[in-house]
Chains A and B, each alone.
Chain A
């Protein structure tokens, strides 16, 4: 059962979503949402790739532990045409200050059963959230989907 921390107001449920779990984030396959990070030398989501309509502190995700045996990050990506999936370890996300919860009621798609949220702290200001989203993006790795060569990846810009 998800509980709100009495100090931070953050929803977190480490019992249902253990640190060993993996959160998959579906991100549109577009330069507007994905960027080649020259320092990390890999693709990571842009800030926009970790924002959802509504402007809340939640990032919509799918939890590996709630996917069926036959389901994986490829299904997360393919549930929305033209998307890829990024992965973040639940424990690493918590270490950054996020909470994770299982929230199947917030999704109507085919992977509804595995839907969850990465939750930011209540009371954080906009700058804090920007910092957190950037930290989270750097933790994420591409888990499913093809990204074609990009000028930056090829060192052309």
Chain B
């Protein structure tokens, strides 16, 4: 499966060099290479169903960051680390995150649902941090993804269950 992220803007500005991201689980990613556009190639049969929507939103976030005065373009390593992180915490039926750029050139995935605020922030250098809280039961987590990944999974599972139960 090959999902093509609309690379027209990227190709025009050259702020992010055209590339292919080769990835079973988004591994072995060439950092530079020929081609036009920004192509996400998922080399696996186990393609997560959420990826099409995430890539759509990623395109919007890339364009949004590039059009805002003073905002840095989202770095390629932030995109790659972000996708890798989602791959490790989301299941096939997980609720899709909102996706926003950060002024510094990173990106942020957000879920605000079922009483949860969950944020995964990817810094421009690829560092991943998370933050979350449940507005009613007082659960919180905060810190490096390596230390909080289990908490993120629990929160996302809770959000997904809430919707499968018909919650809104």
User: Contact residues of A with B, CB < 8 Å?
Assistant: 28, 30-33, 35, 37-39, 46-49, 51-55, 126-127, 130-131, 134, 157
Knowing that A126-B129, A157-B53 are A-B contacts, what are 6 other residue pairs whose CB atoms are under 8 Å apart, sorted by A's residue number? A32-B100, A51-B103, A53-B71, A127-B131, A130-B119, A131-B131
Is B100's CB under 8 angstroms from A28's CB? no
Most buried by B among A31, A32, A49, A54: A32
User: Contact residues of B with A, CB < 8 Å?
Assistant: 53, 57, 60-61, 63-65, 67-71, 96, 98-104, 108, 110, 112-115, 117, 119, 129, 131, 133, 140, 142, 168
With a cutoff of 8 Å between Cβ atoms, the chain B residues found around residue A32 in the complex are: 57, 60-61, 63-65, 99-101
Quote the shortest CB–CB distance from B143 to chain A (angstroms).
8
With a cutoff of 8 Å between Cβ atoms, the chain A residues found around residue B101 in the complex are: 32, 48
A75 to B156, CA, bound (A): 39
With a cutoff of 8 Å between Cβ atoms, the chain A residues found around residue B100 in the complex are: 32-33, 46-49
Is B168's CB under 8 angstroms from A33's CB? no
Quote the shortest CB–CB distance from B166 to chain A (angstroms).
12
Specify which of B68, B110, B117, B140 is in contact with A28 (CB 8 Å cutoff): B68
Most buried by A among B102, B115, B117: B117
Specify which of A31, A47, A130, A131 is in contact with B57 (CB 8 Å cutoff): A31
With a cutoff of 8 Å between Cβ atoms, the chain B residues found around residue A35 in the complex are: 98, 110, 112
Quote the shortest CB–CB distance from A133 to chain B (angstroms).
10
Is B168's CB under 8 angstroms from A39's CB? yes
A74 to B60, CA, bound (A): 24
Is B168's CB under 8 angstroms from A55's CB? no
Is A134's CB under 8 angstroms from B142's CB? no
A39 to B163, CA, bound (A): 12
Is B96's CB under 8 angstroms from A54's CB? no
Is B60's CB under 8 angstroms from A30's CB? yes
Q: A47-B108, A48-B100 are in contact. Are A30 and B64 (CB under 8 A)?
A: yes
Q: A46-B98, A127-B142 are in contact. Are A38 and B113 (CB under 8 A)?
A: yes
Quote the shortest CB–CB distance from A86 to chain B (angstroms).
15
Quote the shortest CB–CB distance from B122 to chain A (angstroms).
13
Most buried by A among B67, B100, B113, B131: B100
Quote the shortest CB–CB distance from A4 to chain B (angstroms).
24
Is B53's CB under 8 angstroms from A53's CB? no
Is B110's CB under 8 angstroms from A46's CB? yes
Is B64's CB under 8 angstroms from A134's CB? no
Q: A38-B113, A53-B70 are in contact. Are A157 and B96 (CB under 8 A)?
A: yes
A32 to B106, CA, bound (A): 13
Quote the shortest CB–CB distance from B70 to chain A (angstroms).
3
